[in-house]
Amino acid sequence: MKHYFKLLLVVVVYIFCLKPAQSKQLQSQMLGEVPLIEAELSIDGIVDDAVWQQALTIELDTETSPSINTRAKQKTTAYVFENGTDLYIAFRAFDVNPKEIRAFHSERDKIWNSDVVGVKLDPLNSGRIAYQYFVTPLGIQADSVLDDSSDNEDTGWDSIWYSKAKIHDNGYDVEIKIPLDSLRISSQEGLKSWGIELVRLWPRDVLHQFSSQSKSKNQQCDVCQFKKVVGFKAHQSNSNVTLIPSVTLKRTDILNDELTGQWQKGELEERGSLDFRWGINQNTFFNATINPDFSQVEADALQLDVNSLSVLSLDEKRPFFMDGTEYFKHWSRFIYTRIFSEPKVGMKITSTQNQHNVGAMLLEDKNTDFLVPYSRGSYLVTQPNVKSQNTMFRYKYDLEQKSHLGITYTDREADQYSNRLVGVDGKIWFGNSDSIKFQAFRSEAKYPLHLVEEFNDLVDDESPRLLKEEMADSAYSFAYTHADKDWIYDFTYHQFGTDFRADSGFISVSNWQRAILGAKRFWYSDSSWWNTFSILGRVYETNEIEGSNIDEVSDLFFQIEGLWESSIGLEFRDKLENFNGQSFSRDSKEIWLELQPFSNASLEFLINKADAIYYTLTLPGESQTIISQLDVQVSNRVDANLEWINQELDLSSGAFYQVNLTNLKTTFRFDDKQQLRLTLQYRDIDFIQQPSSSYETLGSQLLYSYQVNPFTLVYLGYSDFAETSSIDFELTKNAKTLFVKFSYAWQY
């Protein structure tokens, strides 16, 4: 460790000599009672119906970011009432210069280039989980689940609700209708208390956030600070059944002969499926799926995986897994649903009763895939047509002051194969700013002898055998964190045993232990060009449990945020890595930039220069990685996203390889329901030194979609794939696919 380590030690000593800043928890103030009005309102985006005069009126008069708890720069008034079946919310968002309102046609859930108003609801009044609903001045929706207990915001969650908006001479109006049966509501009798926050995002030179309440940065939670409303005593939960049948038709043609250009016509694949969702009561939901269509409508973006020791993780996008996903989330990813590649049938139940939260899932998968981790990375094992039975269970008990304790159990069974995991975890808060987090898990696994032999023969690794017929081991983690307005400092320790295997999850290391110590300091300003500046120092050391030191690292980060919604950062890393019996310097410098200089354009840029290791040959080198992304709203209806990734590796003998990845996505929107999207994904890998080689791929997709809501939709698409030909080494198209998907949601 060099001078960065010494600097961090000074910072840590200084911090622990400080008396922690004392702050009183913001008292949850009552906003009022949501009136019950027996009215069926037609949502048109114009707040002129007489019923709004009887609603609870709430002013969004506080700016919470970037200024902290100052008077909002624009007037925004919200109105709230319910009729026993639906919750109605309206916003009147005034603007002194309506011509600057940002209102772009965009995809659902990707609305953040526009002005936005929204509501965050905690209908269980738990202070932990909020359902978030946001709308643009064109009525386009976004929704998500915010889970303070796991520090996670799940933007993949979708719900059926209704909104309309209208821009006028003084700003814009928004009307929202949320079916009460779509929410998980407290089962208490009579008058119910909910947490609520109403927000407005006003993007101009910087992104301003206005709220119905003040926020304390000395409290490391969001939902726990919500103010309260009461009401909903007349609501009676109905059966709340949703049926979603879908049909997918697909045909893929394959290039049969490169010389003649002869194509083999594929067979038409037909697949019907049915998803079922039943609200047993207001806070218990049952999901089932039969022969689900888990095909990906959109391809996952290309990621940099050359000279990498680990498998890349992918985001979950499939509806069955996304509903109630917050019930299965905790610190480590012991449940990673993308590992289940093609389930045949699935069932799930999620429930909250007082402080008790339960999630249980049963799946029969046509395949059995899992990760095999080791001390420096992981491998993916795929077993197509090896049927597996999968069980996942999680129980979480909510304690006082945002704390919780949890139990997780997973089980996978297939022919001559099994993997079981069980353990406990928790997060305990001490006041508003200090918490400890822990987990302790045990796994047992059995693998078929033929798979063990095949895998260990393929993997050229000097560490202990990564697969054995029988394996059992433990994993432990602990973290202490203090976080207030000015300081964050923490200590974290992880240990994953040599034979620990979590095959239902995404645990990419074993025989691995790491200790981390870090501290971060914030400064704030009301300047017109910057609002937040921070410095982060961090040291960590990683070792094998059975073996040697892996690495020693010290980091120093600087970051400033300000004008044009910008964020500029610098990182200096001092790293010593031991690999294959040798020690290598891995020092690096990195700079990144994010900004939106124009209302219709944003830019992200990162460049990293580092000492490197070419792991295949165990050789030292130098690398340069550039990642850039440009988002442009070409017009009100056309947008484009371009991402370019470049990595170069030089060895002592000269340039060794260069990788270029390009992801391009452009969309034309006919209206708020219809759009046409073109996606191009290009990969070029050049190994420059002898024997030199080059490999290129190009994938394209044209997709038309008509989407009434997240589950009632039509997709029509064409995609093809080209790669370097073995004959003339030019890009040659070798696969093309046509597909159609119909899906419809019936609610009862």
DSSP 179: E
Q: Could you report the per-residue pLDDT of 393-424, keeping only the tens digit for each?
A: 999 999 987 899 999 999 999 999 999 999 99
Q: Please give the structure tokens belonging to residue 82.
A: 């319910």
Q: Could you report the per-residue pLDDT of 277-309, keeping only the tens digit for each?
A: 998 888 889 999 988 765 556 666 667 677 777
- Per-residue confidence (pLDDT) for residue 354, from 0 to 100: 83
- Per-residue confidence (pLDDT) for residue 20, from 0 to 100: 35
- Per-residue confidence (pLDDT) for residue 61, from 0 to 100: 96
Mean pLDDT of 180-195: 84
- Per-residue confidence (pLDDT) for residue 70, from 0 to 100: 94
Mean pLDDT of 648-677: 93
User: Does the pLDDT at position 81 exceed 80?
Assistant: yes
- Per-residue confidence (pLDDT) for residue 8, from 0 to 100: 37
- CA pair distance 538, 555, nearest whole angstrom: 5
Q: Could you report the per-residue pLDDT of 517-570, keeping only the tens digit for each?
A: 999 999 999 888 899 999 999 999 999 998 899 999 999 999 999 999 899 999
Query: In this structure, how many other beta carbons lie within 10 angstroms of the beta carbon of residue 264?
Result: 10
User: Does the pLDDT at position 107 exceed 70?
Assistant: yes
Instruction: State whether residue 128 is helix, strand or coil.
Output: coil
User: Does the pLDDT at position 516 exceed 50?
Assistant: yes
- CA pair distance 128, 342, nearest whole angstrom: 33
> pLDDT class for 22, splitting at 50, 70, 90?
very low
> Across 140-149, 657-666, 718-727, which has the greatest mean pLDDT?
657-666
Q: Which CATH class is domain 34-231?
A: mainly beta
For 429-450, give one letter per residue: b (16+ CB within 10 A) or e: beebbebebbbebebbbbbbee
Question: How many Cα neighbours within 13 Å face the side chain of 106?
Answer: 27
- Per-residue confidence (pLDDT) for residue 299, from 0 to 100: 61
Mean pLDDT of 481-489: 94
Q: Could you report the per-residue pLDDT of 659-668, keeping only the tens digit for each?
A: 999 999 999 9
DSSP 301: P
Q: Please give the structure tokens belonging to residue 90.
A: 């309206």
> pLDDT class for 261, splitting at 50, 70, 90?
confident
- CA pair distance 621, 326, nearest whole angstrom: 43
Residues facing residue 390 across a β-bridge: 363, 412
Taking alpha carbons only, the member of 88, 32, 37, 30 closest to residue 234 is: 37
- Per-residue confidence (pLDDT) for residue 302, from 0 to 100: 64
Q: Could you report the per-residue pLDDT of 312-347, keeping only the tens digit for each?
A: 777 787 778 888 888 998 888 999 998 998 889 999
User: Does the pLDDT at position 377 exceed 60?
Assistant: yes
pTM: 0.86
Q: Could you report the per-residue pLDDT of 210-238, keeping only the tens digit for each?
A: 999 998 888 878 898 999 999 988 776 66
Mean pLDDT of 614-629: 94
Instruction: State whether residue 53 is helix, strand or coil.
Output: helix
Q: Could you report the per-residue pLDDT of 188-199, keeping only the tens digit for each?
A: 777 889 999 999
Mean pLDDT of 139-168: 89
Quick one: what percent of the chain has pLDDT higher than 70? Answer: 93
Quick one: what percent of the chain has pLDDT higher than 90? Answer: 67
Tokens 């080689």 map to which residue? Answer: 693
Distances (CA, A) of 507 to 182, 359, 438: 33, 21, 16
Q: Could you report the per-residue pLDDT of 447-480, keeping only the tens digit for each?
A: 999 999 888 877 755 556 789 999 999 999 999 9
**Contact (CB, 8 A) for 92 and 184:** no
- CA pair distance 564, 428, nearest whole angstrom: 38
| Residue partners of 24: CB distance under 8 A and separation at least 6 | none
What DSSP element (H or E) covers 142? strand 141-147
> pLDDT class for 149, splitting at 50, 70, 90?
confident
For the chain, which residues make up each domain, given as ranges? Answer: 1-25+511-599, 34-231, 308-344+364-389+399-510
For 613-642, give one letter per residue: b (16+ CB within 10 A) or e: bbeeeebbbebebebebebbbeeeeebebe
- CA pair distance 323, 292, nearest whole angstrom: 14
- Per-residue confidence (pLDDT) for residue 571, from 0 to 100: 97
User: Does the pLDDT at position 430 exceed 50?
Assistant: yes
User: Does the pLDDT at position 727 exceed 60?
Assistant: yes
- Burial class of residue 728 in the structure, from the number of CB atoms within 10 Å of its CB (0-12 exposed, 13-18 middle, 19+ buried): exposed
| Residue partners of 53: CB distance under 8 A and separation at least 6 | none
Q: How high is the mean pLDDT of the chain?
A: 89
